[in-house]
Amino acid sequence: MTLLFKSDVDRADIWRDALTAQLPDLEFRVWPAVGDPSEIEFALVWNPARGELAKLPNLKAIFSLGAGIDHLASDPDLPKQVPVVRMVDQSLTLGMTEFVVMSVLRHHRRVHDYELQQRQKIWEQHVTPLSWQRKVGILGLGVLGSDAAEKLTYLGFDVAGWSRNEKKQAGVTSYFGKDGLRPFLERSEILVCLLPLTTETRGILNSETLSLLPRGACLINVGRGEHMIPDDILAALNSGQLSAATLDVFPQEPLPESSALWDHPKVLITPHAASITLPTTAAESIAESIRRLGRGEALENVVDFERGY
């Protein structure tokens, strides 16, 4: 069996070692050294060039290196008959939950204010509510969102989630559909975006939705950069509608040096680093998917492109 690897980050050797440890008979090729395209059965990719996957006539499955699949959905020539498997991995989930919990606690305890005060040499204490008095809202209750919600509930936060359809999760208030978005936003003092990127969710963090949050709310975007309208977020920060924001993803990456977000005193920027897929654990799930195909079994975590995730 032959697998083609394509990533924007040069970690090919690590992925090769991890996958061949699971599948000793695997031939691992790194794009653009494709060799004979007809020999490629599997592709493990992030942001491949448009049309490249369509050149592989015997492709059996496409594996995404990350939880998002918009980098594949945007390819008009993506072979429709080949299943696309989104990354569901314990390290990816744990890493995202760690980042979300850290960011929620940072905003809950107003660490962003103390950081600013330190630079200004201001000694001033701020009284913050207890965790169960703080309303946290999570946009998106998929694998990543539901795990973060579970851990935040354990810490005592008043957690609600919004999704396309109703979700039932212990300790988490469910809002769903178009009618549920407004009341969800109106109660979210710390808003976390973990949505998939679809036609409906593109640009969802805009002036209209941000205006529905309680004044002085905090925003954490770890979904996709295209979820937010940067100018609208800047306006909300400057008006005081948002008191602070943690932004890990952006419509254009790397974030241009000219962006006003870099120097904004109320913004923490991280370079799309909230959670990174670790080859040592992700290889296990990829290998199991390949084995399932070999046994004639259905794949798990296959993308439904009509839903967008």
Predicted confidence at residue 74, as pLDDT, reads 83
272, 291, 292, 307: which one is catalytic?
Answer: 272
The helix, strand and coil proportions of the chain, stated in percent and rounded to the nearest 5, come to 35, 20, 45
Concerning whether 29 is annotated as a catalytic residue, the answer is no
3-state secondary structure of 297: coil
Q: Say whether 90-269 and 2-89+277-294 share the same fold.
A: yes
Sign of CA dihedral 133, 138, 141, 145: negative
Interacting residues of 209 by C-beta distance below 8 A, sequence separation 6+: 181, 185
Predicted confidence at residue 119, as pLDDT, reads 95
* % of the chain with per-residue pLDDT over 70: 99
Concerning whether 112 is annotated as a catalytic residue, the answer is no
107, 164, 224, 227: which one is catalytic?
Answer: 224
3-state secondary structure of 105: helix
Q: pLDDT of 128-184, one tens digit each?
A: 999 999 999 999 999 999 999 999 999 999 999 999 999 999 999 999 999 999 999
Say how many C-beta atoms besides its own lie within 10 A of residue 255's C-beta.
18
How far is Cα 102 from Cα 105, in angstroms, rounded to an integer? 5
Predicted confidence at residue 305, as pLDDT, reads 85
Q: pLDDT of 233-259, one tens digit each?
A: 999 999 999 999 999 999 999 999 999
- How many CA atoms within 13 Å lie on the side-chain side of 296? 0
Average pLDDT score, the chain: 95
CATH of domain 2-89+277-294: 3.40.50.720
Nearest in space to 108 (alpha carbons), one of 238, 244, 251, 247: 244
> pTM for the full model?
0.91
Q: pLDDT of 33-45, one tens digit each?
A: 999 999 999 999 9
Sign of CA dihedral 240, 242, 248, 252: negative
- What length does the chain have? 309
Q: Is the pLDDT of residue 309 over 80?
A: no
Confidence of residue 4 (pLDDT cuts 50, 70, 90): very high
* % of the chain with per-residue pLDDT over 90: 87
Q: Which fold has domain 90-269?
A: Rossmann fold (3.40.50)
CA 91 to chain centre: 13
CA 299 to chain centre: 22
Confidence of residue 9 (pLDDT cuts 50, 70, 90): low
Query: At which residue do the structure tokens 């979300």 appear?
Result: 100
Return the domain boundaries, the chain: 2-89+277-294, 90-269
CA 110 to chain centre: 24
